């Protein structure tokens, strides 16, 4: 069955594709008012300290208090925000970092986004749509590096055959090698109709992600002059349709650098609150990509540059304001900044990434003309894992929540009070043990075993019975048993 990724501007029944309740949230005057009120609070150090202290109860922040923190320019206060963000992250998720790889099925696109190399008019990019055999080759290459979680991406077209995407996901799930298989596929594709999402949901995907790019409507319209993505409202209401189609695990995001980062953060918080209030489920993830140069894109400099100070601040504010969500950081960022943010709020990262179709199977030397955007952290996954384990952070390939049905409201009931960690930490340890047994060299294996012992001792201090259960499972993995989880 063919399904378009885009639909007419009116939903079935001649109802508006997006409600005034939703569009009204992001009125410029409304958000500017919140930022102005936040600026008044930010003038007094004591009030800022009080706001930061309040977040330790894991209840989050309202937009005005978040706006106050976004306007802090003092290094001492930023350090306090980062310290608190780290404490909150470790209270909820522990010292673990989920690793995944993006997998592009194609780079064919009918949009004209001014900042993207996949844009229709760009002749510098070699267009490619992977065959099912090529998708299988890519997945095999990723499995052989130790990956268990993928994020599937495609370009966006006016007339899209959803059958190709669904078949590609099935191919990826069905691919197995001696080293293992992919256990969970998340999806970041163009907005679908509710019917399209229902078909996608039947495949057992993990999280569906879609970025608004910028919530500032005039900027959005300027930067997306034509193509299906030019419809701001259709994209804005994507999660409403996803939820209607049965998707209960979703992620939102903005591309920082297109407009004032403070406006975008407040908009993300408003969007998260809207979805939580309306459907009882907030976003599982919030992504924070920062605009990078893209070959052949007219826009080569960010219209609203975000400094490293501001970027660290916005990550900290998101962690304080939406403590339960996973914050995703891509390889767009430099190694040193990524390493800092691993500790202060970020909970999921891409590793060893390629942003062109066929990039994993091709020669190791990246051809940047094929990439969607430039990458700054080009370390192999094994190197990232080594550096995490060296600091006693757990690299995690866990997919247990998806497979146990801990998604949607069930996940939120555990994540909000910090109870999800009793699953996250043991499951991270088991997937890391698998990686050490199947992919690590002697040096990394020794370091990794020390990291596992450190975390096992921590569990033993809090819950001896759980520690015994985890140790037993780790021993089974050492005896070649695989895919164990709580």
Q: What is the pLDDT along the chain (486 residues), one digit of tens a residue?
A: 334 444 434 443 344 468 899 999 999 999 999 999 999 999 999 999 999 999 999 999 999 999 999 999 999 999 999 999 999 999 999 999 999 999 999 999 999 999 999 999 999 899 999 999 999 999 999 999 999 999 999 999 988 779 999 999 999 999 999 999 999 999 999 999 999 999 999 999 999 999 999 999 999 999 999 999 999 999 999 999 999 999 999 999 999 999 999 999 999 999 999 999 999 999 999 999 999 888 899 998 999 999 999 999 999 999 999 999 999 998 878 888 988 998 898 999 988 888 889 988 873 334 444 544 445 667 889 999 999 999 999 999 999 998 888 988 888 898 888 889 899 999 999 999 999 999 999 999 999 999 999 999 999 999 999 999 999 999 999 999 999 999
| Packing angle of the helix pair 261-279, 63-70 (nearest 10 deg) | 160
What is the spatial distance between Cα 223 and Cα 402, in angstroms, rounded to a whole number?
Answer: 36
What is the spatial distance between Cα 466 and Cα 422, in angstroms, rounded to a whole number?
Answer: 9
Pick from 483, 459, 482: nearest CA to 470: 459
What is the spatial distance between Cα 182 and Cα 143, in angstroms, rounded to a whole number?
Answer: 7
Pick from 340, 310, 317: nearest CA to 75: 310
Please state, in angstroms and as integers, the Cα–Cα distance from residue 362 to each residue in 79, 139, 141, 318, 356, following that order.
42, 13, 10, 37, 10
Pick from 460, 335, 3, 438: nearest CA to 189: 3
What is the spatial distance between Cα 436 and Cα 430, in angstroms, rounded to a whole number?
Answer: 10
Strand partners, 394: 96
Contact call for residues 105 and 152 (beta carbons, < 8 A) = yes
What is the spatial distance between Cα 471 and Cα 445, in angstroms, rounded to a whole number?
Answer: 17
Query: 126: which DSSP letter?
Result: P
> What is the DSSP annotation of 425-469?
HHHHHHHHHHHHHHH--HHHHHHHHHHHHHHHHHHHHH-HHHHHH
**Residues sharing a CB contact under 8 Å with residue 239, sequence separation 6 or more, in sequence order:** 210, 250, 252, 275, 283
Contact call for residues 286 and 252 (beta carbons, < 8 A) = yes
What is the spatial distance between Cα 338 and Cα 342, in angstroms, rounded to a whole number?
Answer: 6
What is the spatial distance between Cα 3 and Cα 176, in angstroms, rounded to a whole number?
Answer: 29
Contact call for residues 389 and 444 (beta carbons, < 8 A) = yes
Q: Residue 75: is it exposed, middle or buried by C-beta count within 10 angstroms (0-12/13-18/19+)?
A: exposed
Q: What is the pTM of this model?
A: 0.93
CATH of 18-24+88-375, one of 3.40.50.300, 3.20.20.70, 3.90.25.10, 1.10.10.10: 3.20.20.70
What is the spatial distance between Cα 216 and Cα 234, in angstroms, rounded to a whole number?
Answer: 15
Alpha carbon 191 to chain centroid, angstroms: 17
Instruction: Quote helix, strand, coil % in the chain, to nearest 5.
Output: 50, 10, 40
């Amino acid at each position: 069955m063919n399904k378009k990724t885009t639909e007419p501007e009116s939903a079935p029944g001649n109802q508006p594709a997006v409600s005034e309740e939703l569009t009204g949230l992001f009125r410029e005057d409304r958000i500017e008012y919140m930022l102005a009120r936040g600026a008044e609070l930010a003038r007094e150090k004591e009030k800022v300290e009080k706001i930061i202290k309040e977040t330790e109860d894991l209840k989050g922040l309202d937009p005005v208090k978040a706006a106050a923190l976004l306007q802090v320019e003092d290094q001492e206060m930023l350090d306090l925000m980062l310290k608190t963000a780290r404490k909150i992250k470790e209270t909820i998720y522990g010292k673990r970092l989920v690793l995944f790889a993006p997998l592009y099925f194609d780079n064919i696109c009918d949009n004209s986004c001014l900042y993207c190399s996949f844009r229709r008019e760009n002749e510098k990019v070699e267009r490619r749509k992977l065959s099912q055999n090529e998708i299988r080759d890519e997945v095999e290459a990723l499995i052989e590096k130790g990956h268990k979680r993928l994020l599937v991406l495609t370009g966006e077209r006016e007339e899209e055959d959803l059958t190709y995407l669904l078949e590609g996901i099935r191919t990826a799930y069905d691919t197995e090698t001696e080293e293992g298989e992919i256990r969970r596929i998340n999806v970041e594709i163009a907005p679908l109709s509710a019917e399209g999402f229902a078909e996608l949901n039947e495949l057992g995907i993990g999280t569906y992600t879609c970025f608004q790019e910028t919530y500032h409507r005039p900027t959005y319209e300027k930067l997306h002059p034509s193509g299906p993505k030019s419809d701001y409202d259709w994209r804005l209401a994507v999660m409403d349709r996803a939820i209607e189609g049965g998707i209960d695990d979703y992620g939102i995001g903005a591309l920082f650098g297109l407009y004032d980062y403070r406006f975008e953060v407040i908009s993300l918080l408003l969007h998260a609150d809207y979805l939580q209030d309306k459907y009882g489920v907030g976003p599982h993830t919030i992504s924070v990509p920062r605009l990078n140069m893209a070959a052949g894109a007219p826009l080569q400099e960010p219209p609203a540059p975000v400094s490293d100070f501001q970027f660290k601040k916005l990550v900290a504010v998101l962690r304080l304001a939406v403590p339960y969500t996973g914050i995703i950081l891509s390889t767009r960022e430099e190694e040193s900044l990524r390493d800092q943010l691993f500790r202060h709020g970020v909970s999921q990262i891409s590793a060893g990434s390629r942003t062109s179709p066929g990039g994993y199977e091709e020669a190791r030397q990246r051809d940047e003309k094929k990439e969607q955007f430039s990458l700054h952290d080009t370390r192999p996954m094994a190197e990232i894992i080594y550096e995490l384990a060296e600091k006693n952070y757990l690299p995690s390939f866990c997919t247990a929540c998806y497979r146990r049905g801990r998604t949607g409201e069930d996940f939120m009931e555990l994540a909000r009070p910090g109870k999800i960690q009793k699953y996250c930490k043991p499951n991270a340890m088991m997937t890391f043990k698998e990686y050490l047994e199947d992919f690590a060299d002697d040096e990394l294996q020794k370091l990794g075993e020390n990291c596992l012992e450190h975390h096992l001792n921590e569990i033993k201090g809090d819950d001896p019975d759980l520690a015994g259960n985890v140790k037993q499972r780790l021993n089974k993995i050492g005896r070649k048993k695989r895919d164990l989880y709580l």
